[in-house]
Amino acid sequence: LDGDPRPALAAAARCRRVGRPVEAAEAAEIASVLLAARGDAAGARAARDEAVAGYRRLGAVLDLRRVEARPGAATTA
């Protein structure tokens, strides 16, 4: 990855469309990290919230803990 969040955002959207919830949450999580690194706090928060919501729906406790442990990981999901 070159730090561009667009491929991760596109992957998350595609995975949602085709019914791949695990991959959608993972891609959203990656996008949140890349967006935060670029200084896009609002975008990072939205992507992180999407990842958290996906992991919660899946009951993916360890993934959820990892996302919530990241700095600035307050969520609204």
Distance from CA of residue 61 to its chain's centroid? 15
In-domain check, residue 1: no
Backbone angle region of 19, left / alpha / beta, with phi > 0 → left and psi within -120 to 50 → alpha: left
- Token readout for 77 is 């999901």
What pLDDT is stored for residue 2 in this prediction? 83
In-domain check, residue 74: no
Domain that holds residue 60: 6-69
Domain total in the chain: 1
pLDDT top residue among 75 and 61:
61
What pLDDT is stored for residue 29 in this prediction? 97
pTM (two decimals): 0.89
Query: Residues 66-72: what's their mean pLDDT?
Result: 84
